[in-house]
A and B are shown apart, each in its own frame.
Chain A
Amino acid sequence: MLTNRHWKRFDRTLLGLTLTLSMIGVVAIYSANMQSDLIFVRELYIKQVYWILISIVAMSFAATIDYAFIERMAFPLYILGVGLLILVTFIGKVGGGSQRWLSLGWIDFQPSEIMKVILVIILARVFNDIKKRDPINAFDLIRPIGFLVVPFFLVAQQPDLGTAIIYVVIFIGLVGFVRVQTKLMSFLSIFLLAVTPLTWFLLKPYQKDRIIGLLNPEEDPMGRGYHIIQSKIAIGSGGMWGKGIFEGTQSKLNFLPAKHTDFIFSVYAEEVGFIGAIVLISLFCSMALRFQNIIKYSEDKFACLVVVGLGAMIIFNFVYNIGMALGLLPIVGIPLPFMSYGGSALITNFICIGLAINVSIGRKRLV
């Protein structure tokens, strides 16, 4: 199906950015674990390379499939996704205190990750179906909310707060883009602002600790403040030019926790410094601009909404993860897109890029 025309038209910059970030991620993962005692941990970067290769295949598929077909398949996909999430609650594998993984024998697979893409597709479909009003009213929101709530609660009870938050972010992003009536918008904003503090009472003790730890990490440096302090030390000690690639001490000597997953940015910033951080942020900003460009020139509403949802998700992931490493946001398991170690997230993010590329190629122009 890949024709010469495909090659000429699709967003090659976006693909280049994606592959560049992934390669930086592999180097950072290698650096983070190169001094580990366990061969398995030392060689995680190789596994990441395999995941990237698999992800590229998935991306190519997502890029070339006819997205009208995806729109048609929205409901079956949603049923499949929710089914997998329900399956996880019964036969899922427990890791790190939560039940998130489905074991497929040789690999562990995280359905909540692929559910992100499915949620984007179903919401795009649902919003696309509302043709009468622009902006939409409160009744039009009922169906989308319904589609959000089911996976949200399934994931939140695993518990996987990070992913649940991403679902909400996708929803908010789409609603923001589709636009609701001004009055309703004000009401929803005030409602959200009022409700947010109340969620404090729903949080588990360890989640509360993370927020307290953020506000005053030095009060319990070996306990709830530990992650934040060590991450700040890693980043800050890098200085302008960094300690040099493979020379970071905070990561190699294990002072930095979750270094190849949630805190991969700290590993990176320690070794390549402020200059490296600017480069990384520029890469992500370019990616955000590419998404914006694709949205602008997309050819129909469904395709446009899909890219909006996926873009919101990736950008939020990026901002939140770095904000967390910098000690600005509470610690939640939100990985850095394309760079953190993890197969399911990698595949999901590559599929997002694939769909964006798909939209960038265009459907009508092709035929």
Chain B
Amino acid sequence: MPSPKTKWEQFIAKRTANIAYFSALLGIIMMVLLLRIWYLQIIEHSYLLSRAENNRLREVYLDGHRGLILDRNGLVLVTNRPAFELSMIPEDMNEPKNTLEFLQKSVEFNMNDVLKSIKNVATFKKVVIKSDISRDEVAFVEENRLELPGVSLQIVSTRNYNYGNFASHLLGYLGPITAKQLARVIKKQHSRNDFVGQTGVERAFEKSLKGRKGLRVLEVDAAGRVIKVLKRISPIGGTNIQLTIDYETQKMAEESLKGKAGAIVAMDPNNGDVLAFASSPSFDPNIFSNGISAKNWSRLLKSGFHPLQNRVTQGQYPPGSTHKIVTAIAGLEEGVFDKNTLVNCPGYFKLGRKTFRCWKEVGHGSMDMKSALIQSCDVYFYTLGLKLGVDRIAKYARMVGFGSSSNFKVGTERKGLVPTIEWKEKVRKKPWVLGETVVNSIGQGYNLVTPIQQVRMVAAVANGGKMVEPKIIIKDVDLNNEKGEREHNSLLPFSKESMQFISESLRGVVEAPRGTAWRINKGSFGYAGKTGTAQVVRRKDIEPENIEDIKYKYRDHAWFVGYGPIENSEISVAVVVEHAGHGGTVAAPIAKKVMDAYLNSPYTVIQRSAGSKNRSNTIRLVDDTANN
């Protein structure tokens, strides 16, 4: 329909192309927007979703109640107590340093340490100023709340060792988790800043004691306020662990060692239950519970007596005359001597140009094996040892557990040393000298044993030749999927007669008038044992009569290994007192006290009258309601 176009019609006709261009441009822009949305919502979706979740979710771990540690009769040795922890959030403070200086007026803490952790901590995370503050300090903080913005008090659970130094080497202590431990443990079981067992039972049974962490997933808004709790998993308390330790026996052992350095370990020779485990000097594990202070730590390290060392499993001593038990068994079993073989002791023993003295200078005269053990005649065993040779003695020493680990689950063990000809050539690069065999047969020279090896050895004598492994946990504790202890006993291939003979001889050591442990015979349940006096340095020909005149570090170690009652023994014990003198005068009386304490204990009496050695029948005075 051709009609004359108005000016307007011409105008709009010219702009049709304009409109088309514009549509194309708009189309392109919309495609760009859509592509961008697609990129964010499809390609980057999972990453951005995780960031959104990260924005709003906070995971808070809740610690379970750490398991208690009890003695064999249910007495609570280790528990948890509430303590006040003083902490701050640096972001909530105007000038942290000023606030801390104000705080320092009444609360003692290390300013530099706190300032250092402020620098290292993530934003809006708390910095602990001081854990376990005193009542007075709590009062000061509460009174000055207004002056202390960003400072807060929290109640935290703190490990408490009810009896302080009691069995500290056995129980162990807690410390902040190390990077290495953190890498090893199961995910979510532990986290940074946790305190975990660093030694002793606390470490050995960490997983059971710890329990399972709880978790709370919180939804927070941009201001960090909690909007709601999305998920809550309650923590599960740790397992209470009942030890084989008997409180009374342990206490007696520790009291006997007070002021001395040494170790005592007592074990039920029938099943390996460790009844006492004392190492002296000891320490108070409570000082570790909130992180040990630098002052306390250096005090422990600098002490010349090494209070942190666990002498029961790590103290290596020459066994001295207690080793005569091993030499005697070797002599009988190898048929080198029989029990009636006589040796004359003139007070010395000559080998070539060398002279070895008996402890009794005038000599014992003619001795059979029993009297040699009872009176601890050195010359008799020099003679026997030389006939046996060092390697045959070593064979029997190994059989009774020397030179190897006793598989005790708590702490690390040292293996001691059983010398042989091969060992000396290999390690010392020197040939064996016969004189060394002579001193070796009475437990001097290169021999080294630990108290826990000694108690196993003497327990085997007590129970008629059964090598029991020491156990620390009462059998029926249900460990939290953790490998517990299993009873692992082996029978020594020794003849019954030999074991019977050794046992009678050790009885004589206590009961015979000339026995080296005669002092402990009076009023006893009937004990047997062997004393030992281990030389630290080669004995001089003339030595001061009085022990006080010898320098401490050159004094002899006093040993006693024994058991009681003689029939149906219930306890075997090894005692070593460092640099204390004679076994008979120092170590044996301590052993008696410890054994008396156990055998007199009402729990033992009840158990005995129940007429059973089976622990599952014993009366357990455990308060089962104490489980959480």
Instruction: Kindly identify which residue among B30, B33, B48, B222 contacts A254, using a CB–CB cutoff of 8 Å.
Output: B222
Name the segment of A46-54, A80-88, A207-215, A233-241 touching the other chain: A233-241
Q: Which residues of chain A are within 8 angstroms of B51 by Cβ–Cβ distance? A: 233, 237
Is A296 touching B12 in the complex (CB atoms < 8 A)?
yes
Q: Which residues of chain A are within 8 angstroms of B49 by Cβ–Cβ distance? A: 236-237, 239
Expressed in whole angstroms, the Cα–Cα distance for A254 and B222 within the complex equals 5
Name the segment of A58-66, A106-114, A187-195, A297-305 touching the other chain: A297-305
Known: A236-B48, A281-B30, A285-B30. A296 touches B19 (CB 8 A): yes
Expressed in whole angstroms, the Cα–Cα distance for A56 and B70 within the complex equals 81
User: A27 in the interface, Cβ–Cβ < 8 Å?
Assistant: no
Smallest beta-carbon distance A149→chain B, Å: 26
Name the segment of A117-125, A322-330, A336-344 touching the other chain: A322-330
Expressed in whole angstroms, the Cα–Cα distance for A254 and B16 within the complex equals 47
* Chain A residues numbered 188-243 whose CB sits less than 8 Å from any CB in chain B: 230, 232-240
Nearest A residue (CB) for B220: A253
Expressed in whole angstroms, the Cα–Cα distance for A249 and B57 within the complex equals 10
Q: Which residues of chain A are within 8 angstroms of B15 by Cβ–Cβ distance? A: 177, 179
Nearest B residue (CB) for A311: B22
Instruction: Kindly identify which residue among A35, A234, A269, A319 contacts B37, using a CB–CB cutoff of 8 Å.
Output: A269
Q: Chain A interface: which size bin?
A: 35 or more
Q: Which residues of chain B are within 8 angstroms of A292 by Cβ–Cβ distance? A: 19, 22-23
Q: Chain B interface: which size bin?
A: 35 or more
Smallest beta-carbon distance A215→chain B, Å: 16
Name the segment of A2-10, A68-76, A271-279, A346-354 touching the other chain: A271-279
User: A29 in the interface, Cβ–Cβ < 8 Å?
Assistant: no
User: B491 in the interface, Cβ–Cβ < 8 Å?
Assistant: no
Is B220 touching A238 in the complex (CB atoms < 8 A)?
no
Nearest A residue (CB) for B29: A319
User: B294 in the interface, Cβ–Cβ < 8 Å?
Assistant: no
Name the segment of B38-46, B104-112, B184-192 touching the other chain: B38-46
Nearest A residue (CB) for B223: A254
User: B219 in the interface, Cβ–Cβ < 8 Å?
Assistant: yes
User: How would residues 214 to 227 of chain B score, 1 for a CB under 8 Å from any chain A CB and 0 otherwise?
Assistant: 00000111110001
User: A255 in the interface, Cβ–Cβ < 8 Å?
Assistant: yes
User: How would residues 32 to 58 of chain A score, 1 for a CB under 8 Å from any chain B CB and 0 otherwise?
Assistant: 000100000000000000000000000
Smallest beta-carbon distance B231→chain A, Å: 15
Instruction: Kindly identify which residue among B8, B11, B16, B221 contacts A253, using a CB–CB cutoff of 8 Å.
Output: B221
Nearest A residue (CB) for B38: A274
Is A237 touching B34 in the complex (CB atoms < 8 A)?
no
Known: A281-B30, A326-B37. A236 touches B44 (CB 8 A): yes
Is A134 touching B11 in the complex (CB atoms < 8 A)?
yes
- Say what secondary structure dominates the interface of chain A: helix
Is B34 touching A278 in the complex (CB atoms < 8 A)?
yes
Expressed in whole angstroms, the Cα–Cα distance for A315 and B55 within the complex equals 34
User: B26 in the interface, Cβ–Cβ < 8 Å?
Assistant: yes
Instruction: Kindly identify which residue among A239, A281, A300 contacts B8, using a CB–CB cutoff of 8 Å.
Output: A300
Expressed in whole angstroms, the Cα–Cα distance for A236 and B41 within the complex equals 4
Is A254 touching B221 in the complex (CB atoms < 8 A)?
yes
Known: A134-B11, A301-B8, A323-B33. A235 touches B41 (CB 8 A): yes
User: A168 in the interface, Cβ–Cβ < 8 Å?
Assistant: no
Smallest beta-carbon distance A200→chain B, Å: 24
Expressed in whole angstroms, the Cα–Cα distance for A299 and B7 within the complex equals 11
Known: A233-B55, A250-B52, A288-B26. A269 touches B34 (CB 8 A): no
Expressed in whole angstroms, the Cα–Cα distance for A288 and B23 within the complex equals 9
Q: Which residues of chain B are within 8 angstroms of A131 by Cβ–Cβ distance? A: 7
Q: Which residues of chain A are within 8 angstroms of B552 by Cβ–Cβ distance? A: none
Q: Which residues of chain B are within 8 angstroms of A164 by Cβ–Cβ distance? A: none
User: B14 in the interface, Cβ–Cβ < 8 Å?
Assistant: yes
User: A295 in the interface, Cβ–Cβ < 8 Å?
Assistant: yes
Expressed in whole angstroms, the Cα–Cα distance for A254 and B37 within the complex equals 22
User: How would residues 1 to 29 of chain B score, 1 for a CB under 8 Å from any chain A CB and 0 otherwise?
Assistant: 00000011001101110110011001001
Q: Which residues of chain B are within 8 angstroms of A295 by Cβ–Cβ distance? A: 19
Known: A134-B14, A253-B220. A237 touches B48 (CB 8 A): yes
Nearest A residue (CB) for B48: A236
Known: A233-B48, A253-B55, A292-B19. A240 touches B33 (CB 8 A): no
* Chain B residues numbered 510-549 whose CB sits less than 8 Å from any CB in chain A: none
Expressed in whole angstroms, the Cα–Cα distance for A258 and B12 within the complex equals 42
Q: Which residues of chain B are within 8 angstroms of A285 by Cβ–Cβ distance? A: 26, 30
Q: Which residues of chain A are within 8 angstroms of B48 by Cβ–Cβ distance? A: 232-233, 235-237
Is B56 touching A255 in the complex (CB atoms < 8 A)?
yes
Expressed in whole angstroms, the Cα–Cα distance for A277 and B38 within the complex equals 9
User: B47 in the interface, Cβ–Cβ < 8 Å?
Assistant: yes
Instruction: Kindly identify which residue among A134, A273, A298 contacts B41, using a CB–CB cutoff of 8 Å.
Output: A273
Nearest B residue (CB) for A250: B52
Smallest beta-carbon distance A214→chain B, Å: 13
Expressed in whole angstroms, the Cα–Cα distance for A134 and B14 within the complex equals 10
Q: Which residues of chain B are within 8 angstroms of A281 by Cβ–Cβ distance? A: 30, 33-34
Known: A239-B49, A255-B56. A326 touches B36 (CB 8 A): yes
Expressed in whole angstroms, the Cα–Cα distance for A327 and B7 within the complex equals 46
Smallest beta-carbon distance B166→chain A, Å: 52
Is B42 touching A328 in the complex (CB atoms < 8 A)?
no
Is B42 touching A239 in the complex (CB atoms < 8 A)?
yes
Smallest beta-carbon distance A293→chain B, Å: 10
Q: Which residues of chain A are within 8 angstroms of B221 by Cβ–Cβ distance? A: 253-255
Known: A177-B18, A233-B48. A240 touches B41 (CB 8 A): yes
Smallest beta-carbon distance A270→chain B, Å: 8
Is A274 touching B37 in the complex (CB atoms < 8 A)?
yes
Is B222 touching A255 in the complex (CB atoms < 8 A)?
yes
Expressed in whole angstroms, the Cα–Cα distance for A237 and B15 within the complex equals 43
Known: A235-B41, A237-B45, A281-B33. A249 touches B14 (CB 8 A): no
* Chain A residues numbered 166-182 whose CB sits less than 8 Å from any CB in chain B: 176-177, 179
A233-B51, A292-B23, A301-B11 given; 4 more Cβ-contact pairs under 8 Å = A35-B227, A319-B30, A319-B33, A326-B36
| A–B Cβ pairs within 8 angstroms, 7 of them | A232-B48, A237-B51, A240-B41, A249-B219, A254-B222, A296-B19, A304-B12
Using a CB–CB distance below 8 Å, which chain B residues touch chain A? 7-8, 11-12, 14-16, 18-19, 22-23, 26, 29-30, 32-34, 36-38, 40-42, 44-45, 47-49, 51-53, 55-56, 219-223, 227
Give the top 9 A-B pairs by smallest Cβ distance, nearest first.
A236-B48, A237-B52, A254-B222, A253-B221, A236-B40, A237-B49, A274-B41, A239-B45, A326-B36
